[in-house]
């Protein structure tokens, strides 16, 4: 099937990877596990796609989808016609680009890297840390406050009309 691209100029690169990569993404029976399958990563403001299979006959894909608003609802499944993702441009959150700098070894590594974007770092309160109870307290610098913003002066009496000045 010919790889026709409508948004090539806007995207700045090909939506589909080269022929050797596309051949490596051909569907196999049984389907490979994510730890053993090569992948292509696509992203948009809407979310992420990790594509592990693209059927060369009809360009239907299979892979992992993760919406930016709901990373907990990410799932593996059929993606449908990949050309539909390539053509989406109407709204800014529907514009899909291939991640040209993804160097993930397999699909499982790509999924783990993407999910790290959504995990919040755990912040520990070191003031009340039980591990630090026996240690001497380290002095901390006083917190500085930004200078108060000056308030604009409002004249109490009218100065008259500008034409009289």
Q: What is the pLDDT of residues 63-121, one digit of tens each?
A: 999 988 888 889 999 999 998 888 875 565 578 889 998 889 999 999 999 998 887 66
* Residue 113: its H or E element: helix 107-116
35's torsion region: left (phi>0), alpha (psi -120 to 50) or beta?
A: alpha
pTM of this structure = 0.67
What average pLDDT does this structure show over 13-39?
A: 90
Helix (H, G, I), strand (E, B) or coil at 78: strand
Which letter does DSSP use for residue 126 in this model? G
Asked whether residue 129 is assigned to any structural domain, the reply reads no
10 Å CB burial of residue 79 (0-12, 13-18, 19+) is buried
Which letter does DSSP use for residue 151 in this model? P
CA angle 3, 86, 74 (to 5 degrees): 125
Q: What is residue 158's predicted lDDT score, i.e. its pLDDT? A: 58
Asked whether residue 153 is assigned to any structural domain, the reply reads no
Residue 62 belongs to domain spanning: 8-116
Asked whether residue 3 is assigned to any structural domain, the reply reads no
Asked whether residue 140 is assigned to any structural domain, the reply reads no
Beta pairing partners, 63: 51, 77
Asked if residue 30 has a cis previous peptide bond (ω within 30° of 0), the answer is yes
Number of domains in the chain: 1
Give the least confident one: 26-30, 55-59, 129-133.
129-133
Asked whether residue 37 is assigned to any structural domain, the reply reads yes
- In angstroms, the Cα distances linking 103 to 56, 78, 97, 99, 149 are 23, 23, 16, 9, 49
């Amino acid at each position: 099937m010919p790889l026709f691209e409508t948004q090539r100029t806007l995207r700045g690169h090909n939506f589909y990877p080269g022929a050797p990569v596309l051949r490596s993404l051909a569907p196999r029976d049984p389907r490979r596990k994510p730890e053993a399958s090569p992948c292509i990563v696509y992203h948009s403001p809407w979310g992420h796609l990790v594509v592990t299979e693209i059927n060369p006959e009809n360009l239907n894909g299979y892979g992992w989808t993760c919406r930016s608003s709901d990373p907990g609802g990410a799932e593996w499944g059929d993606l449908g016609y990949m050309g539909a993702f390539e053509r989406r441009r109407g709204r800014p959150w529907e514009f899909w680009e291939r991640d040209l700098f993804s160097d993930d070894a397999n699909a499982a590594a790509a999924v783990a890297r993407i999910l790290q974007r959504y995990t919040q770092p755990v912040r520990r309160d070191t003031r009340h840390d039980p591990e630090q109870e026996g240690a001497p307290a380290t002095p901390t610098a006083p917190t500085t406050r930004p200078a108060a913003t000056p308030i604009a002066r409002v004249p109490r009496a009218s100065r008259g009309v500008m034409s009289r000045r």
